[in-house]
């Protein structure tokens, strides 16, 4: 009975899905302003579609599922239950790959590069039942039983960090997936904050460890002593005032389409230069732009950033400032009420016992390899640390790198199969 309901939901989603990519209007207006400029109409068409729309366009099965967390957030998952060319039948015994995106991102991260290149398709073709989560507050998960994301009266919808994403969103996703498929375990793949939330979940709720065949940490963010990102570095000393200032100004959200894109456009990518190499390098702050397919940049920009809370940023700011991977720091009175201590407790990484495979890039500025080694030294069940062969591999190459399949995704599949054989 469950599959039938799911199928109906999927069909409804495809036919009634009027949603476009988060920044579709913006991309379209640039296209018009430049008379098409130098990007193809194919790319324009793709840039307007949301994540499920893209999957459907390329002939893959797509399902949209909603789950409600124990604290009332209504979240959206996208599922590609099987491949198009290989492993292209429904099979309830397929191993599950559940993927969580990074800060300010969405499920689209694993789709935009298209069939043959993007991680979600590569996994589906390799025989996985692929589920993509969307954390509370992003474009696909801006809903709650009672709170309103656009309320100007207060920003209560936005009062969460990645602590709540790990503690509430992940259990809701994982319980739902396992119940729907009838399986007892899955692979968890998390990019950046998607790795952070995995660590949060299993340290706060260690009973979840047994639900994972493997944890594939793709530059999982935890300690940030060696973080070299100017945004975080400049915000960190002010973490305690960022949030209150933002609330005063009426923002609980960062980098949603209201403010960020306008600013971004004005400052970085004006005068028809939006889709040049310069613009793509500005986004990452790095010069390895030859490792992105520059034709695809409009598509990347149509989907990112996809929204996050101020508190998610502030919490990473705290990790840097206090040089500790610990729970969100309120004021000391609130800490006392919430945690029973004046300072927030550290996440107990000794409780994260799921088999962990940690992948890192030597040129990653967000998750520096030294911080990743530090994390590995604290986790009790590290199967391996895997340095990606290309020396220039950076934080965004995990999702957008033109060679990510060759240097990473194929290897992930080998490691996942290896983990399955150990069960
Ligand atoms: C870059 O993307 C375009 C548009 O999808 C595609 O036609 C082209 O083959 C890609 N180039 C490489 C080197 O992958």
Give me the CATH number covering residue 194: 3.40.50.1820
The Cα–Cα gap between 228 and 367 comes to 8
Q: Is the CB of 296 under 6 A from ligand 1?
A: yes
**If you measure from the C-alpha of residue 140 to the centroid of ligand 1, how many angstroms do you get, rounded to a whole number?**
27
User: What does pTM read for this prediction?
Assistant: 0.89
Evaluate: CB of 406 within 6 angstroms of ligand 1: no
Instruction: Please report the atom of ligand 1 found closest to the CA of residue 117.
Output: 14
Cα of 293 vs centre of ligand 1, distance in Å, is 6
Regarding the beta carbon of 295 and ligand 1, being less than 6 Å apart is answered yes
pLDDT for 288 equals 45
User: Which of 161, 363, 395, 397 is the catalytic position?
Assistant: 395
Nearest CA to ligand 1 atom 11: 293
Q: Whose CA is nearest to atom 5 of ligand 1?
A: 296
| Residue from 169, 364, 371, 397 carrying the catalytic annotation | 364
The Å distance, Cα 277 to ligand 1 centre, comes to: 15
Quick count: other Cβ atoms within 10 Å of Cβ 303?
25
pLDDT, one tens digit for every residue, the chain (423 residues): 344 444 444 444 444 467 999 989 888 887 777 665 556 678 889 999 999 999 999 999 999 999 999 999 999 999 999 999 999 999 999 999 999 999 989 999 999 999 999 999 999 999 999 999 999 999 999 999 999 998 767 789 999 999 999 999 999 999 999 999 999 999 999 999 999 999 999 999 999 999 999 999 999 999 999 987 766 666 677 777 667 766 666 667 765 544 444 444 444 344 443 333 334 443 443 344 568 787 788 888 889 888 889 899 889 989 998 999 999 999 999 999 999 999 999 999 999 999 999 999 999 989 999 999 999 999 999 999 999 999 999 999 999 999 999 999 999 999 999 999 998
Pocket of ligand 1, candidates 49, 296, 397, 404: which has the most ligand atoms within 8 Å of its Cβ, to mutate?
A: 296
CA distance 193 to 403: 22
The answer to whether 203 is a known catalytic residue is no
> What is the best residue among 295, 397, 401 to mutate for testing ligand 1's pocket, by most ligand atoms within 8 Å of CB?
295
Which pLDDT does position 46 carry in this prediction?
Answer: 93
At how many degrees (to 10) do helices 193-204 and 170-181 cross? 80
Q: Domain range spanning residue 300?
A: 5-421
Q: Whose CA is nearest to atom 12 of ligand 1?
A: 293
Number of domains the chain contains? 1
> Which among 369, 396, 194, 361 is positioned nearest to 283, based on CA atoms?
396
Structure token digits, residue 16: 């009634």
User: DSSP assignment, residue 342?
Assistant: S
- Using the mean position of ligand 1's atoms as its centre, give its distance from the Cα of residue 408 in Å: 19
Query: How far, in Å, from the CA of 44 to the mean position of ligand 1?
Result: 14
Rounded distance from Cα 229 to ligand 1 centre (Å)? 29
Compute the distance between CA of residue 228 and CA of residue 125 in angstroms, rounded to an integer. 36
- Of 141, 192, 222, 356, the catalytic one is 192
Which of these, 122, 124, 120, 123, lies nearest to 133 by C-alpha position?
120
Which pLDDT value is given to residue 300?
87
Q: Whose CA is nearest to atom 13 of ligand 1?
A: 293
Q: What is the dihedral of CA 227, 228, 232, 237, to 10 degrees?
A: 80
Q: Strand 129-132 vs strand 186-191: parallel, antiparallel, or unpaired?
A: unpaired
Residue 126 three-state SS: coil
107 among known catalytic residues = no
Given this model, what pLDDT does residue 153 score? 72
In the annotation, is 403 catalytic? no
């Amino acid at each position: 009975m469950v599959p039938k309901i799911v199928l109906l939901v999927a069909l409804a989603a495809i036919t009634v899905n009027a949603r476009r990519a988060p920044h579709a209007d913006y991309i379209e207006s640039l296209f018009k302003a430049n008379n098409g400029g130098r990007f193809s109409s194919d790319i324009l068409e793709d840039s307007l579609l949301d994540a499920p729309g893209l999957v459907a366009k390329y002939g893959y099965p797509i399902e949209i599922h909603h789950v409600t967390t124990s604290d009332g957030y209504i979240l959206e998952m996208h599922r590609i239950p099987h491949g198009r060319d290989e492993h292209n039948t429904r099979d309830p015994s397929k191993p599950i790959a559940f993927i969580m995106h990074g800060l300010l991102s969405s499920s689209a991260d694993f789709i935009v590069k298209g069939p043959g290149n993007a991680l979600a398709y590569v996994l589906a073709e390799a025989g996985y039942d692929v589920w993509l989560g969307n954390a509370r507050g992003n474009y696909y998960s801006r809903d709650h039983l009672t709170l309103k994301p656009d309320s100007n009266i207060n920003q209560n919808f936005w009062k969460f960090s990645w602590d709540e994403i790990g503690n509430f969103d992940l259990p809701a996703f994982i319980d739902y997936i396992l119940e729907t498929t009838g399986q007892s375990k899955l692979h968890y793949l998390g990019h950046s904050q998607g790795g952070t939330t995995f660590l949060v979940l299993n340290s706060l709720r260690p009973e979840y460890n047994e639900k994972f065949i493997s944890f594939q940490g793709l530059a999982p963010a935890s300690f940030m002593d060696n973080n070299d990102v100017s945004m975080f570095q400049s915000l960190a000393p002010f973490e305690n005032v960022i949030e209150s200032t933002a609330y005063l100004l009426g923002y609980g959200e960062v980098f949603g389409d209201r403010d960020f894109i306008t600013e971004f456009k004005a400052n970085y990518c004006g005068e028809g230069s939006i889709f040049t190499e310069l613009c793509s390098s500005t986004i990452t702050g790095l010069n390895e732009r030859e490792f992105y397919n520059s034709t695809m940049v409009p598509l990347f920009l149509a989907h990112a950033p996809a929204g996050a809370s101020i508190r998610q940023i502030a919490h990473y700011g705290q990790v840097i400032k206090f040089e500790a991977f610990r729970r969100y720091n309120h004021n000391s009175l609130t800490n006392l009420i919430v945690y029973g201590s004046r300072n927030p407790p550290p996440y107990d990484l000794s409780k994260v016992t799921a088999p962990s495979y940690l992948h890192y890039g030597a040129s990653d500025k967000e998750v520096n390899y030294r911080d990743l080694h530090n994390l590995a030294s604290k986790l009790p069940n590290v199967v391996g640390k895997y340095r990606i062969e290309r020396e220039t591999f950076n934080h965004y190459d995990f999702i957008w790198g033109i060679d990510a399949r060759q240097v990473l995704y194929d290897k992930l599949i080998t490691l996942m199969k290896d983990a399955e054989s150990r069960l």
